[in-house]
Structure formats: C-alpha cells, structure tokens
Amino acid sequence: MHITGEAKLLRIFLGESDISHHIPVYEKIVTEAR
C-alpha cells in the first residue's frame, strides 16, 4: 500500500470487553476499515 499526501496516525487502545450495540468495538473498526 502506498499513501500519497499528508497522513495522520490514530492509535486507539481497546479491550475485549469494550462493546457497542452488542458488538465488540474492534470488530466494528475492522469492518469499517475494510
């Protein structure tokens, strides 16, 4: 993957117990990123 232009790094620390609407937050992030 090659990114052109300006980029920013966002680091989020989550635990397995972090849930939103009965779905683990990390699963939502991975799904949206795909």
Confidence (pTM): 0.53
pLDDT tens, position by position, 7-33: 788 888 998 899 999 999 989 988 888
Which token pair is 32?
């949206």
For the CA atoms of 22, 13, 29, 4, the dihedral, rounded to the nearest 10 degrees, stands at: 170
Six-digit token pair at 33? 């990123």
Alpha carbons within 13 angstroms on the beta-carbon side of residue 17 total: 0
Nearest Cα residue to 25 out of 10, 14, 11, 33: 14
- Note the pLDDT of residue 23: 92
Residue 7 CA, distance from chain mean position: 16
pLDDT at 1: 67
